[in-house]
Amino acid sequence: MTSHQGIRPLEFLNFFMADMQAGIGPFLGVYLLAHGWQSGPIGTVMTLGGIAGMITTAPAGALIDATSHKRVYVIIPGVCTVLASAIILLSLNFWVVAASQVATAIAGAVIGTAVSGITLGIVRQAGFNRQNGRNQAFNHAGNMAGAALSGLLGWQFGFAAIFGLAALFGVLSIVSALMIPKDAIDDGAARGLKEGEEDGAEASGFRVLIDCKPLLILAGALAFFHLGNAAMLPLYGLAVVAAKQSEPASFVAITIVVAQAVMIVVSLIAMRMAEKQGYWLVLLISFLALPLRGLIASQAISQWGVYPVQILDGVGAGLQSVAVPGLVARILNGTGRVNIGQGAVMTVQGLGAALSPAIGGWIAQEIGYSMMFLILGGLALGSIALWIGFAGILKLACAQKPDQKYEPAERRAFR
């Protein structure tokens, strides 16, 4: 079975899983706000989900490295996401909503890691940067289509219609995963082993990070970035809706559509930038976008402010969606640890993302939305400091060729 036979259904999978993977998450904040919840508890349930996703990512990576049934780790979590979203239609009890967010976050972590492993197994290391760029373009297009349809259906028919759309996308995701021929996925290549190599040794995500300094710096920089970034979209939606500047469902849809439309273009640009200039510059630009975004959000809490705020979100997240998986795969090429490494980086990144909604929600409740956006945007300065401060180490890892295996300088010196 030739690998190209799995590429088209893989791209369809990335399109449809975008809406299914998040469930009703992007619309959850305004739905709860409309039912009497305050920003603090809303941020808290989102944080609980983020913590669950964070804890899951490294074990999920280990599972994907070990299993020869990678499609199953898309199908079963996809079903769980749809069911978890449905629970919210039955009860708005705090712990029920929290449980739904936990289940959705766990499923999303597994699905994302599985798709990354499937992609690497189909196109191998040499084709990963380009195919991952295409995957992300399809994923952002799916997010944009799902958000636009959700906003329209939510406005016309209510919140239950948004769940129905997520369920439909879930079914189409499962069909797409089943269309990928099992024989098209090389399980050795999917974990970063070169042809003919074998590696049955177990590894922990923590060990993978400690052994590789560029990976550890990358994880730390992403943690700072997502500590500020993760809460920006849901809390900006809450700020505008609370100020009665827009209709909730349609406004949230606009915020997502604007960002995802930008991400489609940016992900393709990032793919080409990475090939020509390496990943270091791509990630630096992504970090620089957040402080500017926080400044604009603090001054433009209105229906029209969504455009510059979400365009900058599209720049930062779009660049990272291509650069982070590509850089991790390149650094860990030949180790057999690619997916657990992806999971370990996502775990540290997820720590920032998990804390962000709770921190942002309580800051907004105590001192207002404007100051909250400035504080969240300023957290990316930690990312910029790490990225520039360790530029010497990072540029070497970012610029290496796809067929090279990363080795620290001290190891090369004694080789």
Task: Tell me the pLDDT of the chain averaged across its residues.
Answer: 80
The model's confidence at residue 409, banded by pLDDT at 50, 70 and 90, is very low
List the domains of the chain with CATH numbers: 3-189+203-403 (1.20.1250.20)
Task: Determine contact, residues 286/224, Cβ cutoff 8 Å.
Answer: no
Give me the percent of the chain exceeding a pLDDT of 70.
Answer: 86
Among the residue ranges 154-168, 247-261, 393-407, the one predicted with the least confidence is 393-407
Helix axes 159-179, 7-22, angle to 10 degrees: 150
pLDDT at 291 over 80: yes
CB 389 within 8 A of CB 259: no
Instruction: Determine the Cα–Cα distance for residues 261 and 209; give it in Å rounded to an integer.
Output: 33
Per-residue pLDDT of 266-289, as tens digits, reads 988 998 888 888 899 999 999 999
- Confidence category of residue 139, pLDDT binned at 50, 70, 90: confident
The model's confidence at residue 247, banded by pLDDT at 50, 70 and 90, is: low
Question: Residue 126: what pLDDT?
Answer: 80
pLDDT surpassing 90 at residue 46: no
Report which of 326, 407, 310 is spatially closest to residue 129, judged by C-alpha positions: 326
Contact 205, 58 (CB under 8 A): yes
The amino acid at 412: R
Q: What is the pLDDT of residue 271?
A: 87
Backbone phi and psi for residue 405, each to the nearest 5 degrees, phi listed first: -105, 130
Closest residue by Cα to residue 398 from 314, 226, 276? 276
pLDDT tens-digit readout, 308-364: 888 998 899 889 988 998 898 888 877 777 888 888 888 888 888 878 877 887 888
Distance, CA of 402 to CA of 130 (rounded, Å): 11
Helices (H), 368-379: 369-378
Q: Residue 226 in contact with residue 356, Cβ under 8 Å?
A: yes
Q: What is the reported pLDDT for 196? A: 53
Helix (H, G, I), strand (E, B), or coil: what is residue 407? Answer: coil
Residues 318 and 312: their CA atoms lie apart, in Å, by 10
pLDDT value, residue 43: 76
| pLDDT reported for residue 19 | 65
Say if residue 56's pLDDT is above 90.
Answer: no
Q: What is the pLDDT of residue 220?
A: 92
Distance CA 222, CA 239 (A): 25
- Listed in sequence order, the residues at least 6 apart from 20 whose beta carbon sits closer than 8 Å to its beta carbon are 78, 81, 82, 166, 169, 170, 172, 173
Using one digit for the tens of pLDDT, what is the confidence trace for 69-124? 888 888 888 888 778 777 877 888 899 888 888 888 888 888 888 888 899 889 88
DSSP class per residue in 95-133: HHHHHHHHHHHHHHHHHHHHHHHHHHHHHHHHHHHHHHH
Tell me how far apart the alpha carbons of residues 411 and 279 are, in angstroms, rounded to a whole number: 23
Q: How confident is the model at residue 29 (pLDDT cuts 50, 70, 90)?
A: confident
Give the predicted TM-score (pTM) of the model. Answer: 0.75
Q: Quote the pLDDT of residue 346.
A: 83
Q: pLDDT band at residue 387, thresholds of 50, 70 and 90?
A: very high
Q: What local confidence, expressed as pLDDT, does residue 198 receive?
A: 55
Give the torsion sign (CA, 118, 124, 128, 134): negative
* C-alpha–C-alpha distance, residues 374 and 299, integer Å: 9
The stretch 390-396 carries a mean pLDDT of 87
Residues 6+ apart with CB under 8 A from 342: 57, 61, 113, 116, 325, 328, 329
> Helices 213-229 and 306-331, interaxial angle, to 10°?
160
* Contact by Cβ (8 Å): 230, 50: yes
**Which amino acid would we find at residue 179?**
M
Model pLDDT for residues 182-221, shown as the tens digit of each residue: 888 888 887 777 655 555 445 445 566 677 888 889 999 9
Phi, psi values for residue 22, rounded to 5°: -85, -15
- Angle at CA of residue 136, ends 86 and 99, nearest 5°: 25
Q: Which pLDDT value is given to residue 406?
A: 47
Q: Cα(221)–Cα(159) distance, rounded to whole angstroms?
A: 37
Amino acid 137 reads A
Output the furthest CA–CA distance in the chain (Å, rounded): 68
